[in-house]
Every structure is written in structure tokens, then in C-alpha cells.
Amino acid sequence: MSEELPNISLYLRFYGEAFDPSHITQRLGITPTSAYRAGEKTAPLVDNRSSIETTHRRDGWFLKIGPYEAVEIADVTREFKDRVGSATEHIKEICEDLDIEAVVLCAVLQPIFAPAPSLRFLPRFLQWVAEMGAILDIDVILSGPGVNDKALQDS
């Protein structure tokens, strides 16, 4: 049996109030993985008891790279940078013009018994994120047997 590895995804996300996500697509020249307007329904969240439906609170646009089964983030950040590439110079300008926020999100789905990933971001990647005027956000979500038992008991 092969060892289960963490799944790592990187996102470039834009959030804000009252902006048209198609303007970002136009200005960056990149097709998003998803874009939505405030008030639109989100995909239902499903747990063991019910299906919960919500709506987006803000307008949004995002590009997703991954998920990749990996314990090192270097290859994922390299592909992310290659994919965003020439659009980099426009990101800070778009945020200022539309009064929105850019976020580089690293999402890790961490199996409870898998080796932990090395989330060491190289200085040149961090500098690149800073030059875009973006926020770096890291989310680690545990998965596996017993992970949600305590949460379900408390609810």
C-alpha cells in the first residue's frame, strides 16, 4: 500500500465589494477557475447530517493550481508563478483601481497519518507575492478517521 501524501493547491484570489470579476479576466488575460458575484449561491457543503447551502458575501475571482500530492512546495510555487507570469505587473494596479484585495492562498489537505509537508517559501517567491501587493494565506485542513468526531459531538 502506498503512503498517502498531503494535497497542496495554490490559488490567486481577488475579493471585494461591487466589482465585476470579468474585468479581472480581461485585464490579466487569464481565465479563472471560478468567478462569482455577491449573493450567488455557493456549492453546498455536505457533512454527515445535512447539506448546507450559502451565498457568497463578496464578489470573487480565483485561479487554482493543483491539488498536487506532495511534501515539498517548491514545484507547486514554480508552476504557480509560471501560470500567473506576465499578469504579475497588473495585479497591484487592478487592486488599487477596483479597491479589492489579492490573496495568494496555499491550501493543504493534510491526511492525519501522512507526513507533514514542508511549507518553506523561498524568499524570491515571497518577494514576488509582496510586489503584487498580495496577502499570503496558508490553510491546513486535517482529514482522516476521527478528525471530525469532536466537532460533531460539540455541535
Below-70 pLDDT ranges, the chain:
1-3, 44-52, 146-155
Parse the chain into domains and list their residue ranges.
7-41+56-154
Say what the pLDDT of residue 49 is: 47
Quick: pLDDT tens for 81-114.
999 987 888 999 999 999 999 999 999 999 988 8
Residue 152: the pLDDT is 39
Q: Distance between CA 17 and CA 59 in Å, rounded?
A: 6
- pLDDT of 140 reads 92
Predicted pLDDT of residue 43:
72
Distance CA 41, CA 130 (A): 32
- Would you state the pLDDT for residue 153? 40
